[in-house]
Amino acid sequence: MNSQLENQHVLITGTNSGIGFGLMQHYAAQGWRVTAVNRRKDESLEKKFPKVNFQYFDVRDMDSIRTYFKEAATTNRLPSIYILSAGINKVDNLDGFSIDVYQEVMDINLMGVMNFVSEALRYRKNRATTFVAASSTSNLFANPNCLGYFVSKLALYRSFQMFNRAYRKDGMRFKSVVLGPVATGIFVSGKLASKLQSTVRDVITVSVDQAVPPIVRFIHSNRETLYYPKSAVLLMFALRIANMILPGFYKGSAPSSSSRQTLESVVI
């Protein structure tokens, strides 16, 4: 296989909607070989993107991930860029703590990424490879009602920092996109959010079309971390300072009941 074509092969998880969809659309339009991994089949996407290689399995399904990598390696079709954007945000600490919901969020957001990393490290050894994780500005100031989301995104960010130090000498790069609110198909302001909270969130929220160009530039740059949008980062730092002055002032918010389903997208 031509090395240039190999270097223009990207794998993206969670492309049914949101950032994953936007990035798939961008790379497909640029003529890249795109492998899209989704949990649920969407025939309309297959018709819209006939050249995209759609794979259907859960990011928690290690057997399916191993099978994919084995087959891709056999046919010399291993991607050189892995954008691991599939994730969920669920309430697990409101009116009591739900260990089941917490575990589900951790398994998808953290282990779902590590599953791909572990296999790619085996097959892409000593070959230029880029891994991109979708983290969150909740790392800076967490919503206390969504502990699994906060812990998983923070752990993912820190893990990629350590991976980058350990594997950079082998030509592998680990990058984190620390995202604020992005208006995806599953974006909901929050039923427990105050009017002020909802107004502020609406002001700093960016569209998928706005978010994709800076993310793509970041992926192909030498930078390790992208904070986007800057307004969300400044807000989170302001909330941290406010919480030092008035401990516990922020009670958090929660997605509406319609959004308490598995979400293959990036949300704050």
Could you report the per-residue pLDDT of 154-170, keeping only the tens digit for each?
A: 999 999 999 999 999 99
Q: Where are the alpha helices (DSSP H) in 49-146?
A: 62-74, 99-106, 112-123
Task: Say what the pLDDT of residue 261 is.
Answer: 35
> 78 lies in which domain range?
3-259
Distance CA 76, CA 68 (A): 12
Q: Does 268 map to a domain?
A: no
Residue 267 domain flag: no
pLDDT reported for residue 154: 96
Per residue in 80-96, pLDDT tens?
999 999 999 999 998 89
| Cβ proximity of 91 and 19 under 8 Å | no
Q: Please name the residues in contact with 223: beta carbons below 8 A apart, sequence gap of 6 or more.
A: 175
Q: Give pLDDT, residue 4.
A: 47
47-51, 83-87, 139-143, 175-179: which range is least confident on average?
Answer: 139-143
- Does residue 266 form part of some domain? no
Q: At 6, list the tokens.
A: 């190999």
pLDDT tens-digit readout, 119-153: 999 999 889 999 999 999 888 888 889 999 999 99
> Per the structure, how many domains does the chain have?
1
Q: What is the CATH number of the domain that holds 178?
A: 3.40.50.720
